[in-house]
Amino acid sequence: MKKVNNNPKGISQDFLKLSIQVSLNGLSFCILDTIKNTVLLSEKKTFDITLTPYKLLKEVKDLFKKHSISQKEFSEVIVIHQNKLFGLVPKPLFNPEELPNYIKFNAKILASDHIDFDEIAGYDMVNVYVPFVNINNYIYELFGDFIFKHIGTVLIESLLKNHTNGKSPVCYVHVSEKNMDIVIISQKKLLLYNSFSFDTKEDFLYYLLFALEQLNLDAESVILRLFGSIEEDDEIYALCYEYIKHISIFVPTGASHPFIDAASENIDFAILNSL
């Protein structure tokens, strides 16, 4: 997580927070009134094709124009970057001078890519990743001070914080636009975090079983909790149930603002837990 400092509009007297999540397959945002714990405005958009970072920026600008977001002032602005250009590093082994070396084997990166990192609070881990720098620059120009982080950081911190300390490993899968983020936790310890793109329900199942196999976890006994853009009547859920019996839709609790009204039900978990 990084806080970018610059405040051309001066100190905001508002109690509004803006959280925006960006990926090449979709974007979403919400505006939270922190006094009333009420979501004032939100929207989620899915793209038909995978965009380039340049076209993603255009979509962000169009969305901001549609809702006059650039005309508002916020006490805090948070940008969540969702991509597969990341790598987790144990904090004792982390060296900020070696950022490219932590992800060059996991992701295709260019010499011109800006690489940043989030420290995962309380768990001695660092998430090294490539943010969408053009999105960051645009947000900086509009609002000045803002915080940005990778979606993996938000998911890991939130799920570890709220995970019950049972004996059996739990596999959480966050489902979004053509993407699945897998977080496997056992006894308050992170065993695995990975992210995959998928087109079909068979792709989804393949990557899920692959992740379980990496940890030698038995599909017959592991607990699977799906959340995000998925329901019990989805084809993905039905297919997973054929292989994993301990499956359920995960309804997150203990968010940063647990009393937000019911309108927040359609807002992404990462968006709410970043606020």
What is the arithmetic mean of pLDDT over 77-81?
Answer: 97
Is pLDDT of 146 > 50?
A: yes
Eight-class DSSP state of 52: P
User: Which pLDDT belongs to residue 215?
Assistant: 96
- Please give the structure tokens belonging to residue 167: 């004996």
- Please give the structure tokens belonging to residue 134: 């053009």
Length of the chain, in residues: 275
* Rounded Cα gap, residues 28 and 11, in angstroms: 26
Indicate the pairing of strand 170-176 with strand 179-186: antiparallel
CB atoms within 10 A of CB 229: 18
Q: Which fold has domain 2-86+97-150+254-274?
A: Nucleotidyltransferase; domain 5 (3.30.420)
CA distances from 3 to 11, 112, 136, 157, 163 (A): 15, 22, 11, 18, 27
Confidence of residue 80 (pLDDT cuts 50, 70, 90): very high
Contact 134, 57 (CB under 8 A): yes
* Rounded Cα gap, residues 20 and 221, in angstroms: 37
Is pLDDT of 11 > 50?
A: no
User: Which pLDDT belongs to residue 111?
Assistant: 83
DSSP bridge partners of 30 = 19, 42
What is the arithmetic mean of pLDDT over 77-89?
Answer: 96
In sequence order, which ranges of 78-183 are alpha helices (DSSP H)?
Answer: 99-103, 133-143, 151-162
Q: What is the mean pLDDT of the chain?
A: 88
State CA 129 to chain mean position distance. 13
User: Which pLDDT belongs to residue 252?
Assistant: 72
* Rounded Cα gap, residues 206 and 201, in angstroms: 9
Indicate the pairing of strand 146-150 with strand 76-81: parallel
Q: In the block, which residue shows the tokens 């969408």?
A: 132
- The answer to whether 2-86+97-150+254-274 and 157-249 have equal CATH topology is yes
The domain covering 157-249 belongs, at the CATH homologous superfamily level, to Protein of unknown function DUF3822, C-terminal domain (3.30.420.260)
In tens, the pLDDT along 257-273 reads 544 544 445 567 777 67
E strand map for 24-124: 26-33, 38-46, 76-81, 86-90, 116-120
Burial of 167 (0-12, 13-18, 19+ CB in 10 A): exposed
- Report the sign of the C-alpha dihedral through residues 152, 39, 133, 207, in that order: positive
Burial of 184 (0-12, 13-18, 19+ CB in 10 A): buried
In tens, the pLDDT along 104-121 reads 888 888 888 999 999 998
Is pLDDT of 14 > 90?
A: no
List the chain domain ranges: 2-86+97-150+254-274, 157-249
CB atoms within 10 A of CB 218: 10
Q: In the block, which residue shows the tokens 């602005």?
A: 77
User: Which pLDDT belongs to residue 139?
Assistant: 97
